[in-house]
Amino acid sequence: MNVGHFHKEEYVKFINFKRAVYWKEKELSLQTYVINKILADSIPLIRFVDLREGKEWQFDTAKVMKGGLIRKVGPEEQFYFSLRLATVKELPPEYKKEETQ
């Protein structure tokens, strides 16, 4: 699973953390059109949620924009930013822990 959506004042992306991280640089990425919408809509919070791990990584959009950059690592350019910018939180028990692909 690798699905993101906008919800109120945040962008939430459900991921399999072990597959989503660019481990060489310890970074996550978002497609440039997603970053453009986050900026256009003044979305203050970006969340990456891994139901299998039972954790989420919360990012302040302003810090992400200051510390990130557009780079082509795979088939398309994406906006990369460091995991160090995240606040990691355990998911509340009401989250159903499902297998992610």
Domain boundaries defined on the chain? 3-90
The percentage of residues in the chain with a pLDDT greater than 70, rounded to a whole number, is 90
pLDDT of residue 1: 42
> CA–CA separation, 77 vs 88, rounded Å?
26
Q: Are 61 and 74 in contact (CB under 8 A)?
A: no
Checking if the pLDDT of 51 tops 60, the result is: yes
Q: Which residue has the higher pLDDT, 19 or 64?
A: 64
Note the Cα 14 to chain centre separation in Å: 8
Region for 8 from its dihedrals, namely left if φ exceeds 0, alpha if ψ lies in -120 to 50, beta otherwise: left
* Residue 100's pLDDT band (cuts 50, 70, 90): very low
> CA–CA separation, 90 vs 71, rounded Å?
30
* Residue 40's pLDDT band (cuts 50, 70, 90): very high
pTM as predicted: 0.84
pLDDT (average), residues 57-74: 93
Average pLDDT, the chain: 87
Q: What is the DSSP letter of 73?
A: S
Q: Are 52 and 16 in contact (CB under 8 A)?
A: yes
pLDDT of residue 49: 92
Checking if the pLDDT of 76 tops 60, the result is: yes
> CA–CA separation, 94 vs 3, rounded Å?
20
